[in-house]
Chain A
Amino acid sequence: MNPSDHPPAVFTSFWNDTGKTGITSWIFSTDHKRIGLLYFWSVLGFFLTAVLLGLLLRIELMAPGRTIMGPETYNALFTVHGAIMVFLFIIPGFPGAFGNLVMPIQIGARDVSFPRLNLFSWWLYMMGAAVIIISLFTGGGPPDTGWTFYVPFSARTGTNVSLAVFGVFIVGFSSIVTGVNFVTTIHRLRAPGMSWDRLPLFVWSLYATAWVQILATPILGITLVLIIAERVLGVGLFDPMKGGDPVMYQHLFWIYSHPAVYIMILPAMGVISEIIPVFSRKPVFGYKMIAFSSIAIAAAGSLVWGHHMFTSGMSDRAILVFSFLTFVVAIPSAIKVFNWVSTLYRGSISLEAPMLYALSFILLFSIGGLTGLILGAAATDIHVHDTHFVVGHFHYVIFGGSGFALFGAMHYWLPKFYGRRYAEKPALIAWGLMFVGFNITYFSMMVLGMKGMPRRYYDYLPEFAPLNLVSTVGSWILAVGLVLMLVNLIRGLRKGEPVGNNPWGGATLEWTIPSPPPTENFPEEPVVTHGPYDFSKAGTP
């Protein structure tokens, strides 16, 4: 991250503009690019922490009985693994890191609408994260409830749930602030000529995501407040002894947490919609339908939360409605997949690292999405609910989908902001290792779940042992690939070959300016004259 590593240039890049150096020029900067990188590196740090916890969980499950830890530690580890991955990695990952880095440039703006609020959102994120970390080492120790904090256990366990939940509350507030900022920015700061039908699809996906952040996160906020109220005041709103209903907790929790899945996946789909046309050298197929399907997913996805609760006690009619709506969400998701595949058709495809991640996204997300329908249909869900099938399914969507899209985005966009690129060959090997390791790890879990192995159990029957061993070995291959990818990427950003304005031949605005971009992005406000995938005019606004 040393600015002097960059080649001297005629413009002032955002790396060495302020004259100030050191950490204060970063943590108090209101530049969207610096905030984006702050987010990126913090998010990556939490991701690696949670990866480590995940690897430990897999080692514990490698063989039946105790392997490396006791049951209490195991409960704490899967809780913390899930909470960090969801709240500190993948929810802030896209909007906070790549949304901040790329979105203002893609719409031709100098910054977001509220730059100071933008910095504040990162501070909130870090404060929330700090509170969560403190909760692990104080009071009754790390929470052991699972990341869903279900009552009655979360209201009664002696572990430090209240503080952890308060930390998540703060992180949620940070997410709201980002959402408000992005909706306002996309409405108000588009450059002349950047009409809604010229908006890059990544921006469309962030726009849909921002609405979900605004409309869903407050419900999480009040739900977390209610957990604290249960624990501290004993209000009893979820306690049957006092007339409350624990199922109401689950409703409130999933009213947020299902739409939150779309906070994680929508911007990932936006990344894929950017990468695929660029590496197929062909305008995206069905631009309007991809843009519309982002909004449709955000809207329909807000009405399907009940499919997490088919076994919790709901009327059959409610199950029918939630099941139907869940199938409805599959339609806009499929629209996207078909449009990406149609974009590939007769394209001049170049298989570089970002494209490999995008292509594997299509496959892994499709597996994750279709297994989601198995869970969305009540008849099959009853059998596989709370089994390893669910664990396999959502890792296909969130890791195979969002995670791989994030890795694709890192290879696609980070060279723009560092001015240097990674080496291609190690990037391909790393991708191959991760792709193979990923499928071994999580496909085994889905098979285990089908055979009846529950999730979140410390021990299991001997007949589950072989596939658990396979899954754990797969997690090691995945980890090796991940390390190789990061080493190659980071070394490339520091010492790799310099890149010009437009290493990939993209037609969106970020490729018309130098790499790394100057502080104010554009020497003068650009006037946009063509669509985001009009490659005949790539390199001009």
Chain B
Amino acid sequence: MSHPEHKDYAGAKLGMWLFLFTEIILFGGLFILYAVYLHRYPREFTTGGHELNLPYGAINTMVLLTSSLMVAMAVTAIQQGRRLLTLRLLGGTILCAVIFMGIKYVEWSAKIHHGIYPGSPRLAAGPPGESVFFGLYYLSTGLHGLHVLIGGSVLAWIGVKVRRGVVTGDDFVLLENGALYWHLVDLIWIFIFPLYYLML
């Protein structure tokens, strides 16, 4: 069955944007909890926020912003039909995702080493607000990390399609949508970083 209207680019992008709304709202639930509990425990949130490692957070922000730039360049590259450049830029994006997850791993390990993890004796002994802060921290960064993994995998899969010539300069909506998803991953982090690392 041939359905020419399924090559509807505007439709494909509209669908992707709608899906991105749902992702933002998914994280929105955690941001609502953040707002409510910050209002209730301002002091404990400040103490908790100061325990986070600002350099790690800042480096990861740079890494993600760079990756977003590269994936945007990849979309331009495929439009110009430069397949090799596209693949290199996608590879760079995925490399950034790996670096991000590596830094996250180091950061989490240090926290867990210091006895800061959900349900840990140290948090149980401390004030309740601190336990809530780190609970939200782990859930937000954890859910975001999961999205980095998903986004990286999707871009890798699209990279294979670019290599095989399925995604080309004439038919690149898949790459464009993959890039949109990656920008979302970046966008969520742009909110998590100041809320947890900077403003407290």
Please give the residue numbers on chain A whose beta carbons come within 8 Å of chain B beta carbons, in ascending order. 109-111, 113-115, 117, 176, 179-181, 183-184, 187-189, 214-215, 217-219, 221-223, 225-226, 229, 233-237, 240-245, 248, 251-252, 255, 519-520
Q: Which of B5, B23, B118 contacts A236 (CB 8 A)?
A: B118
The answer to whether B29 touches A214, judged by C-beta atoms less than 8 angstroms apart, is no
The answer to whether B29 touches A218, judged by C-beta atoms less than 8 angstroms apart, is yes
A sample of 13 more A-B contacts (CB under 8 A), given A218-B26, A235-B135, A255-B29, is A117-B15, A188-B10, A214-B18, A217-B22, A218-B28, A222-B30, A225-B143, A233-B118, A233-B119, A234-B118, A237-B139, A243-B37, A519-B1
* Minimum distance in angstroms from B26 CB to a CB of chain A: 4
Asked if B60 CB lies within 8 Å of chain A CBs, one says no
The answer to whether A236 touches B131, judged by C-beta atoms less than 8 angstroms apart, is yes
For the complex of A and B, the 4 pairs showing the least CB-CB separation, nearest first, are: A243-B128, A222-B29, A234-B119, A218-B25
CB neighbors of A among B1-46 (8 A): 1, 3, 5-6, 8, 10-12, 14-15, 18-19, 21-23, 25-30, 32-33, 36-37, 40-41, 44
The answer to whether A252 touches B128, judged by C-beta atoms less than 8 angstroms apart, is no
Measured CA separation A117–B127 after assembly (Å): 47
Set of chain A residues within 8 Å of B139, measured between Cβ atoms: 225-226, 229, 235, 237
* Minimum distance in angstroms from A375 CB to a CB of chain B: 25
Measured CA separation A251–B22 after assembly (Å): 18
The answer to whether B25 touches A242, judged by C-beta atoms less than 8 angstroms apart, is no
Set of chain B residues within 8 Å of A252, measured between Cβ atoms: 29, 32-33
The answer to whether B118 touches A243, judged by C-beta atoms less than 8 angstroms apart, is no
Set of chain B residues within 8 Å of A235, measured between Cβ atoms: 118-119, 135, 138-139
Q: Which of B19, B30, B37, B41 contacts A180 (CB 8 A)?
A: B19
Closest A-chain residue to B127, C-beta based?
A243
The answer to whether B30 touches A215, judged by C-beta atoms less than 8 angstroms apart, is no
* Minimum distance in angstroms from B124 CB to a CB of chain A: 7
Known contacts A218-B23, A234-B118; A113/B11 CB under 8 A: yes
Set of chain B residues within 8 Å of A229, measured between Cβ atoms: 118, 139
Known contacts A181-B15, A243-B41; A113/B6 CB under 8 A: yes
The answer to whether A219 touches B14, judged by C-beta atoms less than 8 angstroms apart, is no
Set of chain A residues within 8 Å of B128, measured between Cβ atoms: 240-244
Measured CA separation A427–B189 after assembly (Å): 58
What number of B residues sit within 8 Å (CB to CB) of A? 43
Set of chain B residues within 8 Å of A240, measured between Cβ atoms: 128
Measured CA separation A114–B18 after assembly (Å): 13
Asked if B99 CB lies within 8 Å of chain A CBs, one says no
Asked if B132 CB lies within 8 Å of chain A CBs, one says yes
Mask for B98-138, Cβ within 8 A of A = 1, else 0? 00000000000000000000110001100111111001101
CB neighbors of A among B46-98 (8 A): none
Measured CA separation A412–B5 after assembly (Å): 29
Closest B-chain residue to A242, C-beta based?
B131
Measured CA separation A201–B7 after assembly (Å): 28
Q: Which of B1, B6, B30, B131 contacts A243 (CB 8 A)?
A: B131
Interface centre among A183, A187, A242 (most CB of B within 10 A): A242
Measured CA separation A244–B129 after assembly (Å): 8
* Minimum distance in angstroms from A159 CB to a CB of chain B: 21
Set of chain A residues within 8 Å of B26, measured between Cβ atoms: 218-219, 221-222
Measured CA separation A214–B129 after assembly (Å): 33
Closest B-chain residue to A179, C-beta based?
B18
Set of chain A residues within 8 Å of B44, measured between Cβ atoms: 243
Measured CA separation A236–B37 after assembly (Å): 12
The answer to whether B11 touches A187, judged by C-beta atoms less than 8 angstroms apart, is yes
The answer to whether B135 touches A176, judged by C-beta atoms less than 8 angstroms apart, is no
The answer to whether A248 touches B36, judged by C-beta atoms less than 8 angstroms apart, is yes
Set of chain A residues within 8 Å of B132, measured between Cβ atoms: 236-237, 242-244
The answer to whether B29 touches A184, judged by C-beta atoms less than 8 angstroms apart, is no
Closest B-chain residue to A18, C-beta based?
B1
The answer to whether A219 touches B119, judged by C-beta atoms less than 8 angstroms apart, is no
The answer to whether B131 touches A115, judged by C-beta atoms less than 8 angstroms apart, is no
Measured CA separation A189–B128 after assembly (Å): 53
Set of chain A residues within 8 Å of B8, measured between Cβ atoms: 113, 188-189
The answer to whether B135 touches A188, judged by C-beta atoms less than 8 angstroms apart, is no
Set of chain A residues within 8 Å of B21, measured between Cβ atoms: 214-215
* Minimum distance in angstroms from A122 CB to a CB of chain B: 17
Of the A-B pairs whose beta carbons lie under 8 Å apart in the complex, a sample of 30, sorted by A's number, is A113-B6, A113-B11, A114-B12, A115-B3, A179-B18, A180-B18, A180-B22, A184-B11, A189-B5, A189-B11, A214-B18, A218-B25, A219-B25, A219-B28, A222-B28, A233-B118, A233-B138, A235-B135, A235-B138, A240-B128, A242-B132, A243-B41, A243-B44, A243-B127, A243-B129, A244-B132, A244-B135, A251-B32, A252-B29, A252-B33
The answer to whether A184 touches B135, judged by C-beta atoms less than 8 angstroms apart, is no
The answer to whether B32 touches A115, judged by C-beta atoms less than 8 angstroms apart, is no
Interface centre among A188, A189, A243, A251 (most CB of B within 10 A): A243
Measured CA separation A243–B22 after assembly (Å): 29
Closest B-chain residue to A241, C-beta based?
B128
Measured CA separation A180–B12 after assembly (Å): 10
* Minimum distance in angstroms from A116 CB to a CB of chain B: 9
* Minimum distance in angstroms from B15 CB to a CB of chain A: 4
Q: Which of A180, A217, A222, A237 contacts B15 (CB 8 A)?
A: A180
The answer to whether B22 touches A183, judged by C-beta atoms less than 8 angstroms apart, is no
Measured CA separation A179–B15 after assembly (Å): 10
The answer to whether A113 touches B124, judged by C-beta atoms less than 8 angstroms apart, is no
* Minimum distance in angstroms from A235 CB to a CB of chain B: 4
The answer to whether A184 touches B119, judged by C-beta atoms less than 8 angstroms apart, is no
* Minimum distance in angstroms from A5 CB to a CB of chain B: 24
